[in-house]
């Protein structure tokens, strides 16, 4: 016995040493591999006469970006151009996420409707648009739907909504002197309505008498509107109607053909995935929950709000987060129709300046940051709705 304890385990069979050797070998291989690549890159860059570094961002970009949220022209620097691209990515991502969620939830509920026709219509929409490539859909919207529309001068009009091959022009809200007061009072009214509703609901539960919480809340909201109207003596906003000028429309909200194509494509494509997630989430709630809710006499809207949705949302949030991120990443397909977002601006910058490595690093960092912040917010939201297990 004592003899066998004397015998040492050889190191190639030692559970403590083996992993260390294994990892050291792995790290050495990885470092050598990347060292080789980076060495090649340095040689290649010096042959091309490009110095690695981010100083090129201060040089004049000298290319135009047709749509920009901040002022930009060709005499601005590369850095500003990339920020413009980043803002364009954010613009399309935020608007796209909102619209896709609305459409997706509607279709997802439609898939579970008691109405056979609505169910089939939603199903058809999902199967058609989910199984064709997004890029093909974007091309269809851009080249086959929007570009063949008539010229600006002969815009196709429905009321004050104008459609032409440069995009659409629609009536839009224009802020006036009273907008700020309206906004403040509207928020106050909303908060007031919410608290009145809660208070009345509590009273109803306590006293067992109907207290009409919804009507009270509505009254609170309307009071705030009345107050706002009395104070400002005007409406909350003016409506600006697009008017045809010599070359293009002025006034109203004008959306470019490129933006419209990529937005329509993204929203319609992503909504199909969101719809399936919403459907799966609602279906995943145990049938006993529905039956129990019916047994204690909840009406279907109350049951949805208080029993089904709080449980379904837990299942829905994680996959829907990744769909939001997918939408954001897919917005880079805008490069194909010439809407200048981050990747498109980056590509132009690479073609002009040759600083490929740096630009790709910037693009990767921006997307990484976008991903991480979205995941962070969604994780916080997720934790709040998560089931507390005992």
Partner 1 sequence: MSVDLKIVENKQMIAPPKTSASLWDWVRNNLFNNWYNTILTFVAGFIIIGIAYNVLSWVLFEAQWTVITNNYRLFMVGRYPLSELWRIWSLLTIVSFMFGLCSGSFKGTILRLSGILAGIYLIHLLAPFTASSSKVWLAVQLAGLVIGFLIALKLPYNKRIAIIGWVITIPLVFFFIHGFGILPEVRTTFWNGLLLTVLLAGVAIILSFPLGVLLALGRTSKLPAIKYFCIGYIELIRAVPLITIFLMAQVLIPLFLPTGLTIDNLLRVMLGATLFTAAYAAENVRGGLQSIPNGQYEAAKAIGLNPFQTTFFIVLPQALRAIIPTIVGQSISMFKDTSLVAIVGLLDLLGIAQSVKSNPEFLGRHMEVYIYIAFVYWVIAYSMSYSSRRIEKSLGVGER
Query: Could you say which of 133, 150, 310, 318 contacts partner 1 (CB under 8 A)?
Result: 133
Q: What are phi and psi of 40, to 5 degrees?
A: -60, -45
Query: Could you say which of 49, 53, 148, 208 contacts partner 1 (CB under 8 A)?
Result: 148
- How many beta carbons lie within 10 A of that of residue 335, not counting itself? 18
Which tokens in the block code for residue 125? 């929409």
Rounded distance between C-alpha atoms, residue 151 and residue 134, angstroms: 27
Which region among 130-138, 150-158, 190-198, 207-215 touches partner 1 (by CB under 8 A)? 130-138
- How many beta carbons lie within 10 A of that of residue 379, not counting itself? 14
CB of 74 to partner 1, least distance (A): 23
Is there binding between residue 37 and partner 1 (CB under 8 A)?
A: yes
CB of 132 to partner 1, least distance (A): 5
The secondary element (H helix, E strand) that includes residue 170 is strand 167-170
Which region among 18-26, 152-160, 192-200, 243-251 touches partner 1 (by CB under 8 A)? 18-26
Is there binding between residue 199 and partner 1 (CB under 8 A)?
A: no
CB of 109 to partner 1, least distance (A): 12
Q: How far apart are the first and last CA of the chain?
A: 49
CB of 47 to partner 1, least distance (A): 8
Applying the rule CB under 8 A, the residues between 85 and 124 that interact with partner 1 are 113-118, 121
Rounded distance between C-alpha atoms, residue 81 and residue 74, angstroms: 9
- Residue count of the chain, please give it: 390
- How many beta carbons lie within 10 A of that of residue 361, not counting itself? 12
Which tokens in the block code for residue 335? 């490069």
Assign 254 to helix, strand or coil.
strand
Query: Could you say which of 87, 106, 135, 304 contacts partner 1 (CB under 8 A)?
Result: 135
**Could you tell me how many residues of this chain bind partner 1 (CB under 8 A)?**
55
Is there binding between residue 22 and partner 1 (CB under 8 A)?
A: yes
Is there binding between residue 212 and partner 1 (CB under 8 A)?
A: no
Which region among 143-151, 186-194, 223-231, 377-385 touches partner 1 (by CB under 8 A)? 143-151
Name the residue nearer to partner 1 (CB basis): 231 or 369.
Answer: 369
Name the residue nearer to partner 1 (CB basis): 174 or 356.
Answer: 356
Rounded distance between C-alpha atoms, residue 242 and residue 171, angstroms: 6
Name the residue nearer to partner 1 (CB basis): 222 or 372.
Answer: 372
Is 189:223 a contact under the CB 8 Å cutoff?
Answer: yes
Which tokens in the block code for residue 49? 């006469």
Is there binding between residue 378 and partner 1 (CB under 8 A)?
A: no
Is 221:197 a contact under the CB 8 Å cutoff?
Answer: no
Sign of CA dihedral 317, 318, 322, 325: positive
CB of 133 to partner 1, least distance (A): 4
Which region among 42-50, 62-70, 157-165, 381-389 touches partner 1 (by CB under 8 A)? 42-50
Is 323:273 a contact under the CB 8 Å cutoff?
Answer: yes
Strand partners for 77? 60
Name the residue nearer to partner 1 (CB basis): 41 or 112.
Answer: 41
CB of 276 to partner 1, least distance (A): 11
Rounded distance between C-alpha atoms, residue 357 and residue 351, angstroms: 12
- Which one-letter DSSP state was computed for residue 159? T
Applying the rule CB under 8 A, the residues between 254 and 293 that interact with partner 1 are none
Burial class (CB in 10 A: 0-12, 13-18, 19+), 145: middle
User: Which string of x and - marks every residue 308-347 that binds partner 1 (by CB under 8 A)?
Assistant: ---------------------xx-xx-xx------x---x
Using CB under 8 A, list all residues that contact partner 1: 19, 22-23, 26-27, 30, 37-38, 40-41, 43-45, 47, 113-118, 121, 127-128, 130-137, 139-140, 143-144, 147-148, 329-330, 332-333, 335-336, 343, 347, 350, 356-357, 360, 363-364, 367-368, 370-371
């Amino acid at each position: 016995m004592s003899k066998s304890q004397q015998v040492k385990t050889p190191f190639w069979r030692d559970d403590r040493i083996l992993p260390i050797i294994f990892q050291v070998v792995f790290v050495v291989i990885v470092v050598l591999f990347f060292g080789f690549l980076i060495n090649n890159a340095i040689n290649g860059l010096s042959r091309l006469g490009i110095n690695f570094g981010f100083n090129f961002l201060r040089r004049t970009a000298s290319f135009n970006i047709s749509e920009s949220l901040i002022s930009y022209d060709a005499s601005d620097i590369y850095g500003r151009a990339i920020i413009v691209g980043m803002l364009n990515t954010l613009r399309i991502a935020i608007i796209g996420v909102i619209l896709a969620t609305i459409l997706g939830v509607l279709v997802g509920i439609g898939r579970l409707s008691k109405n056979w026709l609505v169910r089939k219509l939603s199903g058809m929409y999902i199967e058609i648009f989910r199984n064709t490539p997004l890029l093909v859909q974007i091309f269809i919207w851009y080249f086959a739907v929007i570009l063949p529309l008539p010229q600006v001068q002969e815009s196709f009009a429905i009321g004050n909504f104008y459609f032409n091959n440069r995009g659409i022009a629609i009536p839009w809200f224009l802020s006036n002197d009273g907008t700020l007061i309206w906004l403040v009072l509207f928020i106050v009214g909303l908060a007031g309505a919410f608290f009145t509703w809660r208070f009345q609901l509590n009273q109803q539960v306590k006293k067992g008498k109907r207290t009409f919480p919804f009507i009270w809340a509505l009254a609170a909201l309307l009071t705030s509107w009345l107050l706002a109207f009395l104070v400002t003596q005007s409406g909350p906003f003016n409506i600006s109607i697009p008017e045809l000028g010599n070359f293009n429309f002025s006034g109203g909200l004008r959306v470019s053909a490129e933006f419209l194509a990529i937005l329509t494509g993204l929203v319609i494509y992503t909504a199909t995935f969101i719809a399936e997630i919403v459907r799966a989430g609602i279906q995943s709630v145990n049938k006993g929950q529905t039956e129990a809710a019916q047994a204690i006499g909840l009406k279907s809207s109350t049951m949805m709000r208080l029993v089904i949705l709080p449980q379904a949302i837990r299942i829905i949030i994680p996959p829907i987060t990744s769909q939001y991120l997918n939408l954001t990443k897919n917005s880079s397909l805008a490069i194909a129709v010439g809407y200048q977002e981050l990747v498109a601006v980056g590509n132009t910058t690479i073609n002009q300046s040759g600083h490929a490595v740096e630009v790709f690093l910037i693009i990767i960092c921006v997307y990484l940051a976008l991903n991480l912040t979205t995941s962070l917010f969604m994780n916080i939201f997720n934790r709040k709705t998560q089931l507390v297990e005992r």
